[in-house]
Amino acid sequence: MQFTLTTPDYGVLCLYFIALFMTGFYLNRYNRAAGRDIFLGGRSLRWWQIGFSMFSANAGPSMLVGFASIGFTQGVVGSNFEWLAWAFLFLLSMFFLPHYISTKVSTMPQFLLVRFGKPSYNFLVIYSLISILVVWLGSALYAGGLIISQVFDISLLHAVLTIAVIASSFTAVGGLKAVVRTGIFQSLIIILSSIILGWLALKKIGGIQAFTKGAPADYWKLFRPASDPQYSWIAILLGYPVVGIYYWCTDQTIVQKVLAAKDVREGQYGAIFISFLKIIMPFIFIFPGIMCFVLYRDIAQPDNAYITLVTQVMPHGLLGLCIAALIAALIDTVSSGLNSFSTVFTLDVLSRVREMDDRAKRRTGQWSTLLAAVLAVGVAWLFSLSGKGFFELSQGLVSILAPPLSVVFVGGISWKRVNKTAAEVVLYGGGLVCLLVGACHVLNFPSKAFWPHFLLLSFYLFLAMLIVLIGVTLCTKPPTENVLPSIVESWKERAPGSRRVWVLWALLALVMGAIYIYFS
């Protein structure tokens, strides 16, 4: 969709880029001790830094544009992807995080190395690098490139290259601290512009009552009937937990933020903070899609619902702010992925090949950041040849990658009896099965009607691999060395979390319960 930016819009964009580079480069000198650790920021992050950074990494272009598309076509049912996330952030902060920190690991592959040995570690190193390149970097660059190329009337390749250069520049220099600082800045831009967009659109509709009456009744139901072909309640309740555990509890790009916490308590507060931010995310990301349906259903398409609403509602100047928010979401998602790739590649690949001091690790991390940017541009280019929408690609990729890691990590922290043989069978065998099944599913082979919904497919794969994990574990000898404590044993030693932490989680549960009752 073509539209014209005016001088005020370009002025806002220039101010945004000046503030971004000031945040990413200039402020780096004020914390040199943490800045020398480009991977975990010296383990010095506070709860609000963690929460905002996780928010901005999660609020990528596929959320801004893709969730508006779901709102346009389906209504609030897409909010389940945000409003159910708190349960898995709870698992991350209260169960997974204490285990990760107690083993003093910097990456998810290192956790598997301690728990299951080198073969499992090697698998996750490769798996993590591929998932970061494909899910975080390639799809984000492709999605953002489509938008930026439309906004500035440039080619897709030029748009992707520009984004990669901007994101890799301050990420390579400042590492995780720069990513976190810019993430806080980007989060504020995204939230502010989305609130203004929603308010102006609601005003144009004529108020809340006109808004609710302007959309079909089923647009306001969080749970659809079991017969619904898109988002039935069965698919959501069975399939989302598989993806939720993988994404929020085992994905390097997300977990790296809480691993960089000053201590366990700060990490837990950070997870609580992002969980409360999740409450507002459907209102600023999905509801604009519904507003576009109410106002412009005759001229808009699902994939351009967000852009249509922005161009029709936002005055010039504020239009530039919304474009800045799109760029902010894109750059922060890419920079988070680049930093995670460099962390895994440096600490889990090259550090195992040759000895490196801190200076050498930092230099290697910077070069690997640039390598990741180049590779991600190639992946984005391949996506452009696929003929599929970017949101469809990202959904399918996450559902394909989730089951084996979800099974192994859940088993690894909850059951000491699980041994390395069981883990290796699920990781290598299950990983191969997931890739083959996923490829057939994406290609609709043997037919589109043959395959269930991608969330149900994730659940079926998870269940099959869980059965394999339990069966192999019971048929083989239990581990005899380097056995980490289970969750139950950790709780006997020290229950993680203060009373305040538990009270905040209980309050959040009450709020989410009220939301689900209202939209039932």
Tens of pLDDT, residue by residue over 176-215, are 555 556 667 667 777 888 889 999 999 999 999 999 999 9
| Residue 460: φ, ψ to 5° | -60, -40
Q: Bigger pLDDT: 164 or 455?
A: 455
Q: How many domains does the chain have?
A: 1
Whole-number pLDDT of residue 32: 47
Whole-number pLDDT of residue 487: 67
In a domain, residue 451? The reply is no
Q: In the chain, what is the straight-line distance between the N-terminal and C-terminal CA atoms, in Å? A: 36
In a domain, residue 445? The reply is no
- Of 125, 149, 111, the residue nearest 343 (C-alpha): 125
Examine the pLDDT at 283 and tell me if it is beyond 80: yes
Average pLDDT over residues 316-325: 81
- Of 508, 516, 518, 519, the residue nearest 93 (C-alpha): 508
Q: Which residues contact 361 (CB under 8 A, 6 or more apart)?
A: 39, 346, 347, 351
Q: Bigger pLDDT: 242 or 301?
A: 242
In a domain, residue 453? The reply is no
Whole-number pLDDT of residue 17: 76
Query: Is 472 within 8 Å of 240 (Cβ atoms)?
Result: no
Pick from 20-24, 82-86, 218-222, 427-431: least confident? 20-24
Q: Which residues contact 136 (CB under 8 A, 6 or more apart)?
A: 253, 333, 334, 336, 337, 340
pTM above 0.85, yes or no: no
- What separation in angstroms does the CA of 276 have from each of 48, 52, 56, 198? 12, 11, 14, 19
In a domain, residue 226? The reply is yes
SS3 annotation, 375-444: HHHHHHHHHHCCCCCHHHHHHHHHHHHHHHHHHHHHHHHHCCCCCHHHHHHHHHHHHHHHHHHHHHHHCC
Q: Bigger pLDDT: 102 or 27?
A: 102
Q: Which residues contact 80 (CB under 8 A, 6 or more apart)?
A: 222, 223, 231, 236, 240
Examine the pLDDT at 452 and tell me if it is beyond 70: yes
pLDDT in tens, 127-173: 878 877 877 777 778 777 777 776 777 887 888 888 777 766 655 55
Average pLDDT over residues 455-475: 95
Whole-number pLDDT of residue 181: 62
Examine the pLDDT at 343 and tell me if it is beyond 80: no
Whole-number pLDDT of residue 216: 93
Whole-number pLDDT of residue 386: 58
Q: Bigger pLDDT: 123 or 466?
A: 466
Segment 384-390 long-range contacts (CB within 8 Å, at least 24 positions apart): 384/142, 384/145, 384/156, 388/442, 389/303, 390/61, 390/62, 390/65, 390/66, 390/139, 390/142, 390/143, 390/146
Task: Report DSSP letters for 162-205, one per residue.
Answer: HHHHHHHHHHHHHHHHHHHHHHHHHHHHHHHHHHHHHHHHHHHH
Distance CA 303, CA 290 (A): 13
Distance CA 25, CA 169 (A): 9
| Residue 268, amino acid | Q
SS3 annotation, 231-270: CEHHHHHHHHHHHHHHHHHHCHHHHHHHHCECCHHHHHHH
| Residue 224: φ, ψ to 5° | -90, 160
In a domain, residue 333? The reply is yes
Whole-number pLDDT of residue 278: 93
Domain extent for 123: 44-389+499-519
Average pLDDT over residues 507-517: 96
Residue 349 has which token pair?
A: 């690949």
Residue with tokens 């309050």: 507
Residue 428 has which token pair?
A: 């290598």
pLDDT in tens, 212-227: 999 999 999 999 998 8
Residue 259 has which token pair?
A: 């691993």
Whole-number pLDDT of residue 519: 92
In a domain, residue 35? The reply is no
Q: Bigger pLDDT: 386 or 96?
A: 96
- Of 255, 251, 267, 252, the residue nearest 342 (C-alpha): 252
Whole-number pLDDT of residue 447: 81
Residue 369 has which token pair?
A: 């950041």
Per the prediction, the chain carries an average pLDDT of 81
Average pLDDT over residues 90-108: 80
Examine the pLDDT at 46 and tell me if it is beyond 80: yes
Examine the pLDDT at 40 and tell me if it is beyond 60: no
Whole-number pLDDT of residue 107: 74
Q: What is the CATH number of the domain that holds 373?
A: 1.20.1730.10
Average pLDDT over residues 48-69: 78
Query: Is 274 within 8 Å of 55 (Cβ atoms)?
Result: yes
- Cβ count within 10 A of residue 220: 15
In a domain, residue 251? The reply is yes
As to burial, measured by CB atoms within 10 angstroms (0-12 exposed, 13-18 middle, 19+ buried), residue 141 is buried
Whole-number pLDDT of residue 492: 61
Whole-number pLDDT of residue 394: 66
